[in-house]
Every structure is written in structure tokens, then in C-alpha cells.
A and B are shown apart, each in its own frame.
Chain A
Amino acid sequence: MEKQEALIEYCLRLGDNSLILGHRISEWCGHGPILEEDIALTNIALDLVGQARTLLTYAGEVEGKGRTEDDLAYLRQVREYRNCLLLEQENGDFARTIVRQFLFDSYHVPFLEALRSSTDTTLAAFAEKSLKEATYHLRHSSEWMIRLGDGTEESKTRVQGALNELWMYSGELFETDEVESVLQKEKIAPNMDAIKKTWTTNVAGILELATLTQPEAGWMQSGGRTGKHSELLGYILAELQYVQRSYPGCEW
């Protein structure tokens, strides 16, 4: 695989992670359990969509065929999306949304820390910028894991249930294939082993504070990064792409 092809794919994977999770959390807008959380979740969504814009724009530039961030977000088919399956999972209740966020944020922070040393200057600058935002996200989701886990019987049951259900999607965040190995050789993409280690330690630490039980290591779900999605992503895209599909080329 050529470096250019790998870099496009890599940017789409990272950009789609942020875009799809950002879209998912934006569904909470106006439905948050309390006003402060409605605002917090929409703020986080805004950061994530902003990150996606940088990455999709860059993917289009590297490709060099004139595709813009909008073309990539609004006109790709479901099988062309490259986000991990975790991020397209449904919001469910607040506990489930927080668990999904916590599993992702715990990966995102050490990943961005490592990406800052990328030899690709655009990715390094992107990481430096986004890390500031992701640090706030991780703090927010970690605090909620502890409040809910070490809260009432009801909140604990819900957050433990969501953790048990979503755990099998956490492995895909650390998967690597030819795309990563081509870029790791050029020191563009970081090695995922150290990041996985940090993730494991931090997640275990927060779960302990939250008095939650870490699900047993088992079979991990996978496929989103290569375009094999659950049926959920189609519904997300139906909403996300509706305007461009109905009124092609429309601008405002």
C-alpha cells in the first residue's frame, strides 16, 4: 500500500470516529437529563465535529481530487465510512452515553498525546489542538462514571449494564492493519501498544473508584474501520445526509 493511500484512509478513520460520535451526542441536544448536561454534551459534540472537519478536509487534500470536507461527510455511502463500531452505538440512557464516551475518551487522550509527535505536521498540529479539548471530555466522562457507579443502586445497575454491553466494542479502537503499519514506518502514526496500555490502566483505575466491575476480557467486535458497520450507521447517515441527498449541492 502506498503512503498516500494509507494516509487518506487513516484520516478518514480518525475523522469518522469524531464525526459519528459527535453526531450521536448531538442527538441529546434539547433532551439532556439536566440543563448543564445538555450543554456539556452539545459542547463536546461541537468539539468532535470540529475535529472531524479538520481531518476530512485534510483527507480530501491528500487525495487531491477536489473533494471537500462536505463531500466526504455528506456524499459517502455507509460502506465507505471508517469509524469504529463503538461510536455508532445508540445513546440509550444517560449512563450508556457516558460509558461509550468514557471508553472513547480514555483512548482519545493518550492517542492524541502520541500523535503530537507525528512527522506529518498537519496531524501533529491537529493532535496538539484536539488534546486540549479531549482532556476536558475525559475528565467529564470519568467524573460521571464515578458518580453513576458509586451512586444509587439504580444508577449503578444502569452503568454496569451499559459497560457490560459496550465492552466488546472497545478492542477495535486499538486495531491495526496495513494502513497503520505503512504510516508507523514513516513515524506518521503512533504505535498502538503503549496507548492500549495507558487505556487499560486508566480505565481500570476509574472503574475501581466507581466501584464497577470490569467485564472479562473476551471476544471483541470489529469491522467498522474497514466499512463493515451495524445497521445503526445507515440510520445516522439518513439523518446526517438528508439535506444534501434531497437538495444536491445546496448551500447556506
Chain B
Amino acid sequence: MVATNDNILSLLENVMDPEVPVLSILDLGIVRKVDAENNTIVITPTYSGCPAMQTIEDDIRKILADNGLENITIETTLTPAWTTDWLSESGRKKLREYGIAPPVGTSKDKNVLFGDEKQVSCPQCRSGNTKLISQFGSTACKALYKCEDCLEPFDYFKCI
């Protein structure tokens, strides 16, 4: 394969977030730059301690190598800091179908004590009658909710 930005991007579409395997790293918004001319890809972590970053880097390297693209440098940048506002529309739709409620609103409003003011709808039954159980869920990027109507607990991809 010829190393063009479009070709690299179409390959990256197939690199999935290991913790939410329906989201590609493009859906997630963590690929900040593809520069085929200089053989460079720039990515940014979701959280400082995100244990998936190394796996993602290895997966990128592997899919490129499998398609004959070697010697690509993968750089990690912290700035600008990743925000859930970068999740693509298709990413939000995929999350919901997978059973994870996508982030509601923007990343700005989170200083209130006790309970999220936002209404998060249940990804199973769509009810808005849900309750925050914990701001910290199964991975760094998720909070834990419970639906008061269908009684299912579910993950919410929290805003940062």
C-alpha cells in the first residue's frame, strides 16, 4: 500500500479501542494527526493512566506493517487535552448500540456535588429515569448508572 494520509486513515478505522471494542480510535478522537509525508502519526491519551495506550500503539504499528507501511513514528501528545467532545457522531451511536450511554452535553459542567445534574438515558430501554451509582466505572472513562425503569445497571461514558 502507498503511504498516503487517506490510506493510513482507512487502516486506522480498523484499530479498535481495546476497552470499548466497537469504537475505532478515529471514532474516539484520539488520533490527532496523520502525516504520511513525514511518516508520523500523533495520538493523545484519554486519561493520564489509560492502560490501553500501549496496546493501541502496538495495534497501529501492526496494521500498518501488515499493509507494507513500516518505520512510522507514533508520537503521543498531551496537548490539547482529549475531551469527550471529540467523540464522533457515529461513535456515539455505536456506543449506545453496544449498551454504553454516550456522554451528555459538553465537558464543562461537572463541579456540582452529589449526583450528575444531567439526564442520562438508559441504553437498554431509553428511559430517562436513571440514577448515578458511582462516578467511577469499569474503566477510567466510564461512570456507573442504574435504570430505575428496567432496573439494568449500565456504563455511562463520562464527560471530561
Contacts and interface: CB of A to CB of B under 8 A. Distances in A.
Contacts of B79: 121, 124-125, 128-129
Q: Which 5 residue pairs of A and B lie closest in terms of their CB atoms, listed nearest first?
A: A50-B49, A50-B48, A125-B79, A40-B136, A46-B49
6 contacts: A39-B138, A40-B135, A50-B49, A125-B79, A128-B79, A129-B78
Interface of A: 36-37, 39-40, 43-44, 46-51, 53-54, 121-122, 124-126, 128-130, 132-133, 135-136, 139-140, 142-143, 146
Contact of A47 (B48, B83, B137, B144): B48
Interface stretch (B22-30, B61-69, B105-113, B122-130): B105-113
Contacts of B133: 36
A68 to B, nearest CB: 15
Nearest to B50: A50
Contacts of A50: 45, 47-50
A251 to B, nearest CB: 13
B9 interface: no
B34 interface: no
B48 A130 contact: yes
Interface string B73-86: 00001111111000
B72 interface: no
B140 A46 contact: yes
B36 interface: no
A93 B136 CA distance: 20
A135 B108 CA distance: 11
A49 B50 CA distance: 10
Given A47-B140, A122-B78, 6 more contacts: A39-B136, A43-B139, A50-B49, A135-B110, A136-B110, A136-B160
B51 A139 contact: no
Contacts of B110: 135-136, 139
B50 A125 contact: no
Interface string B132-160: 01111111100010000000000000101
A143 B49 contact: no
Nearest to B78: A125
Contacts of B49: 46-51, 53
Given A140-B135, A143-B114, A129 B140 contact: no
Contact of A46 (B47, B114, B160): B47
Nearest to A129: B81
Interface in B79-108: 79-83, 107
A129 B111 CA distance: 16
B113 A143 contact: yes
B48 A54 contact: yes
B81 A128 contact: yes
Contacts of A47: 47-49, 140
B29 to A, nearest CB: 14
A36 B136 contact: yes
Contacts of A44: 136
Nearest to B137: A39
A116 to B, nearest CB: 10
Q: Which of B79, B107, B136, B144 has the most CB of A within 10 A?
A: B136
B136 A133 contact: no
Contacts of A43: 136-137, 139-140
A139 B47 contact: no
A36 B48 contact: no
Contact of B136 (A122, A140, A142): A140
A133 B134 contact: no
B127 to A, nearest CB: 21
